[in-house]
């Protein structure tokens, strides 16, 4: 897969999902940092910019859509992979029209997730994160 160790941010309000994804990514040689809310993730950005973010669509507080909008408004060019437990063709179409790398339905396979992360990291901003 990838030779360097990019940081992947995982944003989800489900602690079990956070643990499982962090464990998987670390086992694959990736750095992974978890956030239980969109606000916690956004607050981290000035200190560290991830290579991509796995972003749950539906969360209390700031949902995935709001986090993605704030990333764009603030100039943070972090590739987004949306993850969701809800089958919603309209949401998937909306997400893909905004330039996300992937829209994955839980449960997704490890291979599917890792391929999406690889694509996101390869697409990532060359300047390290901001416009």
130 band by pLDDT with thresholds 50, 70 and 90: very low
CATH code of 84's domain: 3.40.50.2300
pLDDT in tens, 79-103: 999 999 988 888 889 888 888 999 9
Q: Is 130 part of a structural domain of the chain?
A: no
123 by DSSP, 3-state: which? Answer: helix
Q: Is 79 part of a structural domain of the chain?
A: yes
Provide the domain limits for residue 95.
Answer: 7-123
Q: Is 128 part of a structural domain of the chain?
A: no
**pLDDT at residue number 86:** 87
pLDDT in tens, 30-47: 999 999 999 999 999 989
Question: Which sign, positive or negative, has the C-alpha torsion 104, 105, 106, 110?
Answer: negative
Query: DSSP letters of 52-117?
Result: EEEEESS-SSS-HHHHHHHHHHHTB---EEEEESS--HHHHHHHHHTT-SEEEESS--HHHHHHHH
Question: How far is CA 23 from each of CA 6, 91, 123, 125, 126, rounded to the nearest angstrom?
Answer: 15, 28, 24, 26, 27
Six token digits for residue 14? 């489900």
Q: Is 131 part of a structural domain of the chain?
A: no
Q: Give the C-alpha separation, 26 to 86, whole Å.
A: 26
pTM, whole model, 2 decimals?
0.89
């Amino acid at each position: 897969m990838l030779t360097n160790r990019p940081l992947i941010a995982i944003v989800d309000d489900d602690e079990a999902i956070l643990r499982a994804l962090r464990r998987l990514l670390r086992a694959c040689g990736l750095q992974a940092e978890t956030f239980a809310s969109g606000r916690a993730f956004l607050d981290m950005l000035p200190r560290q910019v991830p290579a991509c973010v796995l972003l749950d669509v539906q969360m209390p507080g700031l949902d995935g859509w709001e986090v993605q909008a704030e990333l764009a408004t603030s100039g943070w060019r972090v590739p987004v992979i949306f993850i969701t437990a809800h089958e919603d063709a309209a949401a998937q179409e909306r997400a893909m029209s905004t330039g996300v790398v992937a829209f994955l339905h839980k449960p997704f396979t490890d291979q599917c997730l890792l391929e999406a992360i690889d694509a996101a990291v390869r697409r990532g901003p060359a300047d390290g994160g901001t416009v």
